[in-house]
Amino acid sequence: MEIVVVPEYAALSREGAARLAAVIRQAAPDAEGRVGPSDGRERAAGGHCVLGLATGGTPIGVYRELVRLHRQEGLDLSHVTTFNLDEYCGLPPDHPQSYHTYMRRHLFNHVDLDPHRARLPDGMAEDPAAECACYEAAIAQSGGMDILLLGVGTNGHIGFNEPGTRFDSRTHCVELAEKTRLANARFFPPGEAVPRRAITMGIATILAARQILLLATGAQKAEAIVRAALGPITPDCPASVLQRHPRVTLLLDQEAASQLPKRAASLPG
Ligand code: F6R
């Protein structure tokens, strides 16, 4: 597990976006239609790139920086497919607090992504179990995620996989923990309830990504980070399972890294 600590949020956002942009550029076909070197694992043909994306407060700066790279430095996303980690059940895609709306607001409306290739679970699906299976199949058919951007909850959740989630879980419906609903209430107008259920990629879905980039900022995440990086690998802290993945980076600000022993955290020069 690589641990990168940066001084503050702006640096974290630049570094996170630079890492996503590197994967996007590597997959872009050149003028002759050739694709750059892959990491050697099987991937879908055609020079496309598959990103897994998170919502929440933390990645907003990364999306802002990706939009800047697109506008000012010509970052091409036309060959990119995206799959979001999760969506609330019961919120239609145009609901102001849905993750569909979040993604349009922060990224999709501002770059050249093909809207048909920007996927989120359908929180309004009549048959949520069928929707979960369909989402899982769509990720597999795309060739799998080249890189997955994650945040982490103060209770160690990743996606909406709350403590206790099985490590072999695939995309599924969940009851949100009260702690998570409370944390997310800040995104909802006063008096409007945070939904109780969501669809989320499972832990096994997350681990199948070829590369994982987890972002965390602020002292409130410090305990979850130390448990994720150094604690026992246990469903009590879902993020601890990332220790089993061969290619994970924790990208942290100093406060989120504040409970890590000095030797565990590398400050970039
Ligand atoms: C969001 C998601 C969640 C968040 C986590 C941290 O798609 O899956 O796991 O990443 O709750 O949220 P913030 O960034 O708001 O602290």
List own/partner pairs for 174-177 with CB under 8 A and 24 or more apart: 174/198, 174/199, 174/200, 177/153
pLDDT score at 36: 53
Q: Whose CA is nearest to atom 12 of ligand 1?
A: 56
Which residue's entry shows tokens 């997350």? 206
Amino acid in position 133: A
User: Mean pLDDT for each 10-residue chunk of the chain (269 residues)?
Assistant: 96 98 86 54 62 97 98 96 97 96 98 96 96 98 97 96 97 93 92 94 98 98 98 98 98 97 60
Residue 246 backbone phi and psi in degrees, to 5: -75, -15
- Give the C-alpha separation, 205 to 83, whole Å: 11
The C-alpha atoms of residue 157 and residue 155 are separated, in whole angstroms, by: 6
Strands 172-175 vs 80-84: parallel, antiparallel or unpaired: unpaired
Of 44, 27, 43, 45, the closest CA to residue 35 belongs to 27
Distance from Cα 22 to the centre of ligand 1, integer Å:
23
Is residue 153 in contact with ligand 1, taking CB distance under 6 Å?
yes
What are the phi and psi torsion angles at 46 (to 5°)? 105, 5
**What pairs with residue 2 in β-bridges?**
249
Structure-block tokens of residue 229: 């990086």
Place of tokens 């607001």: 105
Instruction: Pick from 13, 51, 58 the residue to mutate for probing ligand 1's pocket: most ligand atoms within 8 Å of its CB.
Output: 58
| Residue 154 in tokens | 């103060």
Q: Provide CB contacts within 8 A for 114, sequence distance 6+.
A: 78
Dihedral angle of Cα 142, 205, 154, 195, to the nearest 10 degrees:
80
Q: Nearest-CA neighbor of 120 among 93, 94, 144?
A: 93
151 lines ligand 1 (CB under 6 A): yes
Q: Does the Cβ of 238 fall within 6 Å of ligand 1?
A: no
Q: Are strands 212-216 and 248-253 parallel, antiparallel or unpaired?
A: parallel
Question: What local confidence, expressed as pLDDT, does residue 179 receive?
Answer: 87
* Whether the CB of 56 sits within 6 Å of ligand 1: yes
From first CA to last CA, the distance across the chain in angstroms is: 19
